[in-house]
Structure 1
Amino acid sequence: MEATIEVTGLRKRFGQVTALDGMSFTVTPGRVTGLVGPGGAGKSTAMRVILGLDVPDEGRALVGGRPYRALRRPLCHVGALLDAGALQPGRTGRDHLLWLARSHGLPARRADEVIERAGLGAKARRRAGRYSPAVRQRLGLAAALIGDPPVLLLDEPFTGLDAGGVAWLRGLLRELAGEGRAVLVSSPLMSELEDTAGHVIVVGRGAVVADAAVAELVEAASRGRVALRTPAREEAMTALAHAGATVAVTGPDTLTVAGLAAERVTALLGRRKVPFSGVAAHRATLEEAYMELTRQAAQPGAGS
């Protein structure tokens, strides 16, 4: 089966609420694709439609060119993590995985293989009702991998993980994409996907706001801005603002300047005798790119 997800013109309403408003995007193999947006943007609804759990009013969602409901042995085609807490509390994690394996005719050793890959260790033999949120997430990831699927859909998988767990998951996602899988990861925070996603789909109010490579988004958000380090922050801000620049504080002694080239910033501060120790082209973070996109989308008339 081809490892792709194709979403075309999805529309979905729940009563008076529009959850999806013509959403379209494609997830291709070999990279992590982030589905990013604030709460209520339509991320979870889109994933539920892809998995056949919600029926769209319009549009379609295909996995490997077929609707999810048409897949035989679906866990061998698509692995999904939507709700890590959806567990029978009296059953051990290993028994949960064994049940999933047997439902698809997979050998028992497959449960132990994904237990190891998810870093569960001896915790897999404890009852699920005693699991912490982080362990539940790891078990959910193990369950998603049980059928060795070419496509993965993970809805906010970083929730409940500590800093070490976040770093581990980022590495695992890169590994899975490197194996040729199509990996779709939803998150309300762009920062969670920093250094992990190669492509990002930004959504808001049920529609796609941006669909681009991470490098393109960062470059667009960085363009024309200058990073300035100065011990005289207030003096520098006043001088630059009077010259027509837009200035933002980024640290105790650092500023980001938009609207003036680095050479003009240097010359202006030199004339005003404002001390500074560094001027360089500013490289935006993925989070900054996201905030700029959502700010533009929220402006009156945007997208009309």
Structure 2
Amino acid sequence: MTDATIEVAGLRKRFGATLALDGMSFAVPPGRVTGFVGPNGAGKSTTMRVILALDSADAGTALVGGVPYRKLKRPLCTVGSLLDAGALQPSRTARNHLLWLAHSQGLPASRVDAVLRTAGIDSVARRRAGGFSLGMRQRLGIAAALLGDPPALMLDEPFNGMDPEGIIWMRGFLRSLAAEGRAVLVSSHLMSELQDVADHVVVVGRGRVIADVGVADLLASVAAGRVTVRGAVAGAAAVLGDAGARVTVTGPDTLVVAGLPAQTVVAHLTRAGVPFAEISAHRATLEEAYLELTRDAVEYQGVPR
């Protein structure tokens, strides 16, 4: 499959007094799912729109496979996208909606039928799209993004409106796209879903990148060797504090220890004869890491700069 790395470098974009993008730079290589997360107003949607030439940047570049979107002869065959599941003519059937898109790219009707099956909506292909639920419109948007069998995909909030079955399907679907060697960029506010599918995450705030890191590395840094201890709080806190740990009491029988690995905590408490019911290494979540990283990146208020 053709390498269609998505690259943005030094993007700047201002809407009147609001600075939407302030040097946004990152890359989405093939073969992995990259999560794109940040608070409302962080610049995620604007970045995607600039990549797709729906907005023009004031400075910087946005390339797919080394080429600006405007110069792609058959753009749907290079990058597929879903930015707004409601962007369709409601009186058209699902199949006809895809047929006119396919025609614009010189793609056969057989390709339409193939993506309808992939998205799981072939049974409703002749229903008017205006009567679809949000989850079904999401699937139709995904089918449209797949029409040209593109090596790069960008999906904005694809989990929205999905029922539990649809969410499970979406997880497997995104992983399968990356496994096929595609570059996949997924924006979502559902951190628990991204944690299950993303290999890498780009965290943004106030129009710039805050973190560009592997999900496993990010979670490890947030966990920071913390250990939860349940048992005799007072005795454990004294022993572990003397051993150099940072101890925080979080409940009547629970404390969190930082600075000592779990096995060392066990050794100190056992040696001191302090009873405990449970000792477990802290498991960080992507949501926890996100909140810590974006603590100061509140929605941009448009102060002129």
* Structure 2 residue identity aligned to 1:75: L
Check 1:24–1:106 CA distance in 2 against 1; reply closer, same or farther (3 A cut): same
Q: Report which stretch shifted further, 282-291 or 98-107.
A: 282-291
Aligned partners of 1:90 and 1:127 also within 8 Å: yes
Aligned partners of 1:235 and 1:274 also within 8 Å: no
Q: Which residue of structure 1 lines up, in the alignment, with residue 39 of structure 2?
A: 38
Q: Is structure 2 residue 211 aligned with structure 1 residue 196? A: no
How many Å apart are 1:175 and its aligned residue? 0.5
Aligned partners of 2:219 and 2:285 also within 8 Å: yes
How many Å apart are 1:109 and its aligned residue? 1.0
How many Å apart are 1:219 and its aligned residue? 1.5
Check 1:206–1:107 CA distance in 2 against 1; reply closer, same or farther (3 A cut): same
How many Å apart are 1:108 and its aligned residue? 0.5
Q: Report which stretch shifted further, 56-65 or 274-283.
A: 274-283
Aligned partners of 1:2 and 1:65 also within 8 Å: no
Q: What do the CA deviations read for 1:237-259 (whole angstroms, capped 9, x no partner)?
A: 9769977735375x997654324
Q: Which residue of structure 2 lines up, in the alignment, with residue 170 of structure 1?
A: 171
Q: What do the CA deviations read for 1:204-245 (whole angstroms, capped 9, x no partner)?
A: 1111000011111111112221133x266x768976997773
Q: Which residue of structure 1 lines up, in the alignment, with residue 291 of structure 2?
A: 291
The equivalences for 1:62-73 within 5 A come to 62-73=63-74
* 3-state SS of paired residue (2:276): coil
Q: Aligned equivalents of 1:120 and 1:151: distance in 2?
A: 22
The equivalences for 1:113-192 within 5 A come to 113-192=114-193
Q: Aligned equivalents of 1:236 and 1:292: distance in 2?
A: 31
Q: Aligned equivalents of 1:46 and 1:156: distance in 2?
A: 14
Check 1:252–1:83 CA distance in 2 against 1; reply closer, same or farther (3 A cut): farther
Check 1:274–1:163 CA distance in 2 against 1; reply closer, same or farther (3 A cut): farther
Q: Aligned equivalents of 1:114 and 1:94: distance in 2?
A: 10
Q: Which residue of structure 2 lines up, in the alignment, with residue 11 of structure 1?
A: 12
Aligned partners of 1:11 and 1:58 also within 8 Å: yes
How many Å apart are 1:124 and its aligned residue? 2.2
Q: What do the CA deviations read for 1:89-140 (whole angstroms, capped 9, x no partner)?
A: 1111111011111111111011110011001131222111110010000000
Aligned partners of 2:113 and 2:122 also within 8 Å: no
Aligned partners of 1:241 and 1:247 also within 8 Å: no
Q: Aligned equivalents of 1:237 and 1:80: distance in 2?
A: 54
* Structure 2 residue identity aligned to 1:177: A
Q: Aligned equivalents of 2:167 and 2:116: distance in 1?
A: 18
The equivalences for 1:252-291 within 5 A come to 256-262=256-262, 265-266=265-266, 275-291=275-291
Q: Structure 1 length as normaliser, TM-score?
A: 0.88
Q: Structure 2 length as normaliser, TM-score?
A: 0.87
CA RMSD across the alignment: 2.6
Aligned partners of 1:12 and 1:58 also within 8 Å: yes
Structure 2 residue runs without a partner (length 5+)? 299-305
Q: Which residue of structure 1 lines up, in the alignment, with residue 303 of structure 2?
A: none
Q: Aligned equivalents of 1:188 and 1:288: distance in 2?
A: 13
Structure number with greater CO (CA < 8 Å, separation at least 6) is 2
Q: What do the CA deviations read for 1:12-66 (whole angstroms, capped 9, x no partner)?
A: 1111111111010011001101111111111000000000001011101011111
Q: What do the CA deviations read for 1:139-184 (whole angstroms, capped 9, x no partner)?
A: 0000000110111010111111122211110100011111111000
Q: Report which stretch shifted further, 40-49 or 187-196.
A: 187-196
How many Å apart are 1:273 and its aligned residue? 7.5
